[in-house]
Every structure is written in C-alpha cells, then in structure tokens.
Amino acid sequence: MDTALLIEKSILVIVLFLISLGAAAYMTYFERKLAAWIQDRVGPDRAGPFGILQPIADGVKMFLKEDFIPAKADKWLFIIGPGLAMFTALITSAVVPWGPNLHLFGREISLQVADINIGILYVFGVLSVGVYGIMIGGWASNNKYSLYGAIRASSQMISYELAMGVSAITIVLLSGSLSLNDIIAQQSQVWNVFYQPVAFLIFFICALAELNRAPFDLPECESELVGGYHTEYSSMKLGLYLFSEYTSMFISSAIMAILFFGGYNFPGMSHFSGNTLALLGIGAFAIKIFIFIFVIMWIRWTIPRFRFDQLMHLGWKTLLPLALVNLLISGLVIAYNNGWF
C-alpha cells in the first residue's frame, strides 16, 4: 500500500469519525427541538443563539458528572459495555460510500473507507454485534431493570434482524451484488424504493426496532424499566450509550438511503462531472440522511410504545411472512424477466 493512500484513508477515517460524532451531538439538539415543536414548545434556546451550543453544554455536563460503578457490578464488563456499543455504531460507517469519487492533487479519492464486495453482509454483521454492547451493559449492571432491558433488546434485535435481512435480500436480488457501490450504481436511473416499496417499509420498521427507537424503544422504556439497560450508568458512560444510539441512527439512515433511495444519486446527475458531481452527490446523500433522521424522530414523538407481545407478534407473524412473500414474488418476477421460464 502506498503512503498517499494510507494518508488519504486516515484523513477520511478521522473526518468520518468527527462527522459521525458531530452529527450525533447535533441530532440530540435537533431531537429536543423537534419534540418541543410537536408539543407546541420552544425547546432549548438558552445556550447560544437558538440554543445552538446546547450539545456542547450537555457534553460538558456529562463529563463532569460522577462516574459511578455499582459495588455489585461486574467492573470490566460494565466498562466494556458502552465502549462496545459506541464502537459497533461507528465502524458501520466504514463501508458507506459517502459520494462519487473526488479528484484532488491529481489523485482520484474514493469517499469510502473500505470498498469491500460484501458491504451489506458487513453492515448486518456489525449490526448483530451491536446488541452485545447493550447486553453486556445490562448484564454487568447487576440490576433487574437493566437485565430486563438487555433481554428485551437482544430478543427484539434478533427477531427483527430476520425480516430486515430478508427485505435486504430482495435488494441484493435486484442489483445482483452485495457491494454497496454496485447497489448505488444500479439505482442511477430508478431508485429501489419504486421497485420495492414493501421491502422498504419492512426494512424501515425493522431499522426502528434495531435502533431501539420509539415505538420500539422497549429496552429503555422509562415508564416500566426506569432506564432500561443503562439504569446504572452515569457520566460519560451513559453519554456513550446515548451517543451510540444517535450515531447508529445516523448510519442506519445512510444505509437506508443507499439501499432504497439511490445513495448519492440525484435526479439530473448526468449534467455534472468531476468534483462538482462529487460535492453535489455528498449534498444529496446528506439531505436524504437528514430526511430519514427527521422521519425517525417525527415517528418517535407521534406514536406510543408497543407492548412486548405486540412487538414480537409484529416481528414474527406479520413482518417476516410479508418479507418472505415479497422476496418470493420479486424473485419470480426477476426470474421471469431473465427468461428463466
């Protein structure tokens, strides 16, 4: 590997890391603002103009709080838990292509950290590991509420991963590739959501469940489980859990935009080329991500939480059969179009 590539990738990794963290920080602000607007309130407006410095104030507060580890907790797992949650939330961004290639200093720079040909599998693999952060944290706390939260999180994530995976397979069938780049390239004319609206709906609902967002936020579930899996956490460990939730929300929005809304493709793309195209592509991708984040938050402040049996019912008896039927039908249609009958 030559040095220039190494430098280029390192810079990209650092920039992505900072962007993910910054986006997560400002998503907390945006979420509070949105909640306030929906409830006819103003929201945070004291720190800086329009409260724009609120995330910094929150971060400083988190750092200054007492970092408490319960006496009966498993100390090392207790520390590893939030770190693992944050780690898995961040490494998903490695395979996301953030835009068309940039041309700088006579080099063609790919805006993707790792162009692996099994991008989707990588994303799903990391998502499955993501549950360990919550599970370990809940287990190590040695608290019944934490444990309940952790149990719920793991069963919920495992159940919804199935339907999510099946609806992603329909996309793989359409593009014929597991690489995220190929999936984006295949959508340059028509976005997948127009071919696969049902798969998108299933994927979106499952993504909400995977993210532990309302209406599927049973793992934290303030009204029953105090704080769920992070009941015993305080200070920046709690901050990392909350942060990882928002980071994964950011990354999942990116994944949904890639799989169903054409990633960095935008209408009228063929009129541009070079760096203009790259910048516009990044902009279009950012707008798509923002819209997804907005809708996810909008849903959170609209719908009440599902009961646990309703959640399982929806996942196993509705979404999974629906996803399977959808997969079967789209498979048949694709086979027919390829002239297999």
Partner 1 sequence: MDSLTNRKKVVSDKPMSLWEKAYLPAIISGMITTMRHMFRKRKTIKYPEEVREFAPVYRGQHVLKRDEQGRENCTACGLCAVACPAEAITMTAEERKPGEESLYREEKYASSYEINMLRCIFCGLCEEACPKEAIFLTDRLVPTYFERDNFIYGKDKLVESLDNRIDITKRQHTGKRSEI
47 touching partner 1, by CB under 8 A:
no
In the complex, what is the shortest distance from the CB of residue 302 to partner 1, in angstroms, rounded to a whole number? 5
**How many C-beta atoms surround the C-beta of residue 263 within 10 A?**
28
Closest CA to 155 of 141, 134, 125: 134
Phi, psi of 249 (to 5 degrees): -65, -40
Cis upstream peptide for 215 (omega within 30°): yes
Q: Any idea which residue has 């080099």 for tokens?
A: 107
Specify the DSSP class assigned to residue 177: -
Among 17, 37, 68, 194, binds partner 1 (CB under 8 A): 37
Give me the 250-289 binding string for partner 1, x by CB under 8 A, dash otherwise.
Answer: ----------------------------------------
In the complex, what is the shortest distance from the CB of residue 34 to partner 1, in angstroms, rounded to a whole number? 8
- The answer to whether 143 touches 70, Cβ cutoff 8 Å, is yes
In the complex, what is the shortest distance from the CB of residue 101 to partner 1, in angstroms, rounded to a whole number? 38
301 touching partner 1, by CB under 8 A:
yes
18 touching partner 1, by CB under 8 A:
no
- The answer to whether 228 touches 146, Cβ cutoff 8 Å, is yes
Phi, psi of 221 (to 5 degrees): 40, 65
Give the span between the Cα atoms of 20 and 93, in whole angstroms.
Answer: 8
Q: Using the rule CB under 8 A, give the single segment among 36-44, 158-166, 188-196, 246-254 that binds partner 1.
A: 36-44
- The answer to whether 133 touches 82, Cβ cutoff 8 Å, is yes
In the complex, what is the shortest distance from the CB of residue 168 to partner 1, in angstroms, rounded to a whole number? 21
**How many C-beta atoms surround the C-beta of residue 42 within 10 A?**
10
In the complex, what is the shortest distance from the CB of residue 314 to partner 1, in angstroms, rounded to a whole number? 8
Among 6, 45, 107, 331, binds partner 1 (CB under 8 A): 45
34 touching partner 1, by CB under 8 A:
yes
299 touching partner 1, by CB under 8 A:
yes
Residue closer to partner 1, measured from CB, 79 or 295: 295
Among 14, 22, 41, 60, binds partner 1 (CB under 8 A): 41
Q: Any idea which residue has 């190494």 for tokens?
A: 6
In the complex, what is the shortest distance from the CB of residue 225 to partner 1, in angstroms, rounded to a whole number? 24
Among 1, 2, 3, 40, binds partner 1 (CB under 8 A): 40
Closest CA to 31 of 297, 299, 303, 300: 297
The footprint of partner 1 (CB under 8 A) covers: 34, 37-42, 45, 298-299, 301-303
